[in-house]
Amino acid sequence: MKEFGRYMIFLGSLVVRRETFITYYRLVVDECMQIGVKSISLFVLVSTFMGAVTTVQTAFNLVTPLVPRYVISQVVREMTVLELAPTIMAIIFAGKIGSSMAGGLGTMRITEQIDALEVMGINSSSYLVLPKIVASMLMYPLLVIVAGVCSIIGGYLVGTLTGILTPTEYIMGIRSIFNDYTITFALIKSVVFAFLIASISCFKGYYTQGGALEVGIASTEAVTSSVIAVLLADYFLANLLL
Amino acid sequence: MIKIKNISKSFNDKSVLRNINGEFDKGKTNLIIGSSGTGKSVLLKCIVGLLHPDTGYAFYDLRNFTDADKDVKSEIRREIGMLFQGGALFDSKNVEENVMFPLDILTKMPYDEKLDRVNFCLKRVGLENVNKKMASEISGGMKKRVGIARAIVNNPNYLFCDEPNSGLDPQTSILIDELILEITHEFNITTIIVTHDMNSVLGIGEKIMFLHKGDKLWEGSNEDITHSGVKELDDFVFINKVMRSLKGTKLV
């Protein structure tokens, strides 16, 4: 509870004594490059294979001839949109971006760079953390969309090239009984997950004390805590919004 | 001028500073000296506001900094330059961007004017043609110089240096000390330096405060440090054979 209280105070500190809009604008653009653009290749790779594997495994489990083949791609679509793209990618996001945020801020703390900002009269938490959270909330939903598309393409490529189902069957499954609310739900989840991962990781990094060993510990804690928070939020959001 | 009054600080149950009083003069290099773990850096952090003292206040030209509201604190902080032990340069920025950073944040100067000021400060600390080098590409001594350039770029009224020559060879240490001394006189600023380096104490200690186990035991200048009559200070000053052989002679 004490840690949760510190986290809430930390979140409160992000919105006081702010710098100018243009300062934040530049920082957010920089962070978007770091968080978004530099993560695309990893997201494309992971999500394409995820879609491919989901197709193969769904086909493996559909042993009865009574279920039409296009159901495979329908399952791939639902799994991708509802869970794989927003939630599993959030775990990848926490591992790549969350640990990097915690490590970067932790290093800045132990090398007195954060103290240097404070001495200059800058609210270091707002200056360093707020742009990371905003950029994460902007970029992660876009990465989820990219991941969703790549996952479905991955499923298509493997499904059709290995003869599991025909291109027509795959497209038919993708289009049948489609509820577009699932996309809205996935995007809401992605914004919440991005906020949790960025804020928790920054919180862990910002309050690092000690040396290189503690920076490593902070990075590990950032990933662990973010993933737990994402899974809890996933459950509550599913209960709340579905 | 900076004045401190009854500053005390504890961490958990451990008392680190007890009722420290003193004045740091404008246009002089004011040294806070003492062995490791005596609370020098804690005192400096209490003065610049990185730590809040349990009791006591720091006054910047009669303005109470410790109890000031956030706006006044921000205003005073914009008059402060600080050199950190490791330089504390921003890894993601090159030398020029590091020195320009306070101007970017605290002023609305046009870019050309900022660049002129940055080049002036870099030249003043003896660094030229290193503008585009990253912090990781320069030596420890150069980092300290860049740190000094960043500290003075905003024309501060107060300069704080936390162990400015730690980790440097004796020759570079003396150069850094002399640079701080020159800048202090040239810009007539109040400089406070935390150190335990005897070369610095004797070389640039225009006003010295000696701390021992959280208490202030002595105050004076480098001219009278060798005959203070304080046992703990004598132990600190005459720690090696060379210094002991010079005991009783005028060192400065």
Whole-number percent of chain B with pLDDT over 70: 96
Contacting residues of A for B86, CB less than 8 Å apart: 111-112
Contacting residues of B for A16, CB less than 8 Å apart: 70
Are A115 and B70 within 8 A, CB to CB?
no
Question: Could you tell me the residue ranges of all domains in chain B?
Answer: 2-79+157-245, 90-155
The nearest CA of chain A is from the CA of B89 a distance in Å of 7
A23/B contact by beta carbon, under 8 A: yes
The residue of chain A nearest to residue B88, with distances taken between CA atoms, is A113
The residue of chain A nearest to residue B152, with distances taken between CA atoms, is A120
Convert the pLDDT of each residue in B219-236 to its tens digit.
988 888 877 788 888 888
Is the CB of residue B89 less than 8 Å from the CB of residue B136? no
pLDDT of residue A168: 93
- Between chain A and chain B, how many beta carbons pairs sit less than 8 Å apart? 52
Contacting residues of A for B74, CB less than 8 Å apart: 17, 121
- The answer for A227, left when phi > 0, alpha when psi is -120 to 50, beta otherwise, is alpha
- Cα separation, B252 vs B235, whole angstroms: 19
Are A113 and B90 within 8 A, CB to CB?
yes
A3/B contact by beta carbon, under 8 A: no
- Cα–Cα distance list, A117 to A8, A100, B101 (Å): 22, 20, 10
A40/B contact by beta carbon, under 8 A: no
Fold for domain B2-79+157-245?
A: Rossmann fold (3.40.50)
Q: What is the ipTM of this complex?
A: 0.85
Question: Could you tell me the residue ranges of all domains in chain A?
Answer: 21-241
Indicate the DSSP class of residue A212.
H
Convert the pLDDT of each residue in A108-165 to its tens digit.
999 999 999 988 888 899 999 999 999 999 999 999 999 999 999 999 999 999 988 8
The residue of chain A nearest to residue B107, with distances taken between CA atoms, is A20
| Nearest to B20, CA basis, from B36, B32, B29 | B32
Contacting residues of A for B49, CB less than 8 Å apart: 118-119
A115/B contact by beta carbon, under 8 A: yes
What is the average pLDDT value for chain A, to the nearest integer? 92
Q: Is the pLDDT of residue A29 over 90?
A: yes
β-bridge mates for residue B3, sequence order: B23, B59
Split at pLDDT 50, 70, 90, the class of B251 is: low
Split at pLDDT 50, 70, 90, the class of B248 is: low
The residue of chain A nearest to residue B69, with distances taken between CA atoms, is A17
Range in A65-79, B92-106, B161-175 the model is least confident about = B161-175
Chain A window 172-231: which residues touch B at a Cβ cutoff of 8 Å? Answer: none
Q: What is the mean pLDDT of residues A172-186?
A: 91
- Cα separation, B135 vs B142, whole angstroms: 9
Q: What DSSP line would sit under A101-160, residue for residue?
A: HHHHHHHHHHTTHHHHHHHTT--HHHHHHHHHHHHHHHHHHHHHHHHHHHHHHHHHHHHH
- Cα separation, A200 vs A229, whole angstroms: 9
pLDDT of residue A62: 83
More confident site: A45 or B37: A45
Q: Is the pLDDT of residue B43 over 70?
A: yes
Are A116 and B84 within 8 A, CB to CB?
yes
Of B50, B85, B91, the CB nearest to A119: B50
